[in-house]
Amino acid sequence: MRGLMLEGLDLRKPMSGRKIAILRIQTEVLRVMVERLLEKGFYWILPVILSKSTDPLWPDPEFSIEKKVEVEIYGEKVSAMQSMIVHKRVLVSLGPEKIFILSPNIRIERRDRAATGRHLYEFTQFEVEVAYAKMQDIFGIYEELITESIKYVRKHLSRELEVLGRELKIPQTPFKVYKRSELEEKYGASWQDEVSRIFEDPIWVTGIPREFYDYEDPETGEWRNYDLILPEGYGEVISGAEREYEYEKLAKKLERDGLDKSNYKILLDLAKEGLLKPSAGAGLGIERFIAYIVGARHVAEVQPFPRIPGIVPEI
C-alpha cells in the first residue's frame, strides 16, 4: 500500500506545515462529529483506560496482538483497554441509552504490521452505542458523521487540503452493503485489501464471524455485524454489530471461544437478570479516518506522537 512513514519521529524539530494542516483538519472533523451527536441527544462519556474487563479481540480474523498489556493495581490484575465494548453494553443497559466516547485503545500489534500503513499500537476510536438499535440505525449515524465532516473540510479547509495536495471526494450515501462471504468468494482471503483498492466509495461488509458479543442468529448462523471499508487502500475504519443480550448465548459463546467468564461477570449477571438491553454500536478509528481525509501515506503521520508497531519513540 503506502510505504512506512518514519518522518516526524524526531520530535525535537518544529512541525511541518503539512503536519499542522493535518491537525487542523482533525480538530474540525472531531468538532463536527461531536456536535452532530450532541444535537441527536447522545451523552458524551469519558473513557476508561484500565479495567478487569476489556475486549478480548478473539476470535476476530484480524487478530494480530503480540502482547496484552496487564498491570497490578491495589492487589488486582487489570488490563489496558483494547476496546470499551463491555463498558458500553453495561452503560446503555443501566444508564443513558445513546452514548459516544473518544476511547483510547492499546493494542500491541505485531511488528510486521508497521508496513501496512494502517496499524498503530495506540489509537483512538470514536465509539457509539445505542440501546434497541439495529444495523441500519448505526449505518445511518456513521454515514452522516462521515459525509458531514468531509463536506465541512472541503468547504472550510480548502487551504489545508491544498497544502496536503489532497483532492477529497464526498462519498454517496447510503453506502453499499456486501456480505463478507460473497466478497471472500470473489476476491479470496485478501478480500479486504482488494475491495479497498477497487471501490471508489466506502462500503459496509456484514456477516463476519468474531467475538462473543456480536449477535449470531442461532438458526441461520448469520452474524449481524459489520465493518466499513474505506477506498484508496485505507481499509477497515469502522467495526461494529448488533449485540448479544441473552445469558445462555453469551455463556455458551464464551465457553466456545475459551474465554474466562469471570472477566465478564457484570455483563453475564445483567444478562441473567434480564437487564442487559439489546443494542447496536460501532467504533470508528479516528486516525485511520483522518489519514483517509488528508491522504496520509501512513496512519502514524496524523499522530503528533507516532505509535508505529515495533517503534518506541523517545517521548
Q: What DSSP string describes 30-79?
A: HHHHHHHHHHTT-EE-PPP-EES------S-TT--EEE--EEEETTEEEE
CA atoms within 13 A on the CB side of 43: 14
228-239: average pLDDT: 98
Confidence of residue 90 (pLDDT cuts 50, 70, 90): very high
Crossing angle for the helix pair 17-39 and 286-294, to the nearest 10 degrees: 120
Instruction: Tell me whether the omega of the peptide bond preceding residue 278 falls within 30 degrees of 0, making it cis.
Output: no
Per-residue pLDDT, 195? 97
Per-residue pLDDT, 132? 98
Q: Read off the pLDDT of residues 144-192 as tens digits, 9 standing for 90 and up.
A: 999 999 999 999 999 999 999 999 999 999 999 999 999 999 999 999 9
Q: Cell triple for residue 53?
A: 474487563
Per-residue pLDDT, 7? 52
Q: Read off the pLDDT of residues 105-149 as tens digits, 9 standing for 90 and up.
A: 999 999 999 999 999 999 999 999 999 999 999 999 999 999 999
Per-residue pLDDT, 2? 37
Which has the higher per-residue pLDDT, 4 or 195? 195
67-83: average pLDDT: 97
Strand-strand pairing, 65-67 and 108-109: antiparallel
Per-residue pLDDT, 314? 83
Mean pLDDT of the chain: 95
Q: Read off the pLDDT of residues 193-210 as tens digits, 9 standing for 90 and up.
A: 999 999 999 999 999 999
- Domains, the chain, with CATH or none: 17-171+258-302 (3.30.930.10)
Contacts of 143 (CB under 8 A, 6+ apart): 173, 174, 175
DSSP 283-297: EEEHHHHHHHHHT-S
Residue at 299: amino acid letter: V
Q: Are 246 and 271 in contact (CB under 8 A)?
A: yes
Q: Are 126 and 284 in contact (CB under 8 A)?
A: yes
Q: Are 79 and 263 in contact (CB under 8 A)?
A: no
Is 274 buried (19+), middle (13-18) or exposed (0-12) by CB count in 10 A? Answer: exposed
Distance (Å, rounded) from C-alpha 203 to C-alpha 78? 36
For the cut 60, the answer to whether the pLDDT of residue 50 exceeds it is: yes
Strand-strand pairing, 76-80 and 70-73: antiparallel
Per-residue pLDDT, 6? 52
For the cut 60, the answer to whether the pLDDT of residue 306 exceeds it is: yes
Per-residue pLDDT, 3? 38
Confidence of residue 315 (pLDDT cuts 50, 70, 90): confident
Per-residue pLDDT, 62? 87
Confidence of residue 8 (pLDDT cuts 50, 70, 90): low
The helix (H) or strand (E) run that includes residue 126 is strand 122-131
For the cut 70, the answer to whether the pLDDT of residue 5 exceeds it is: no
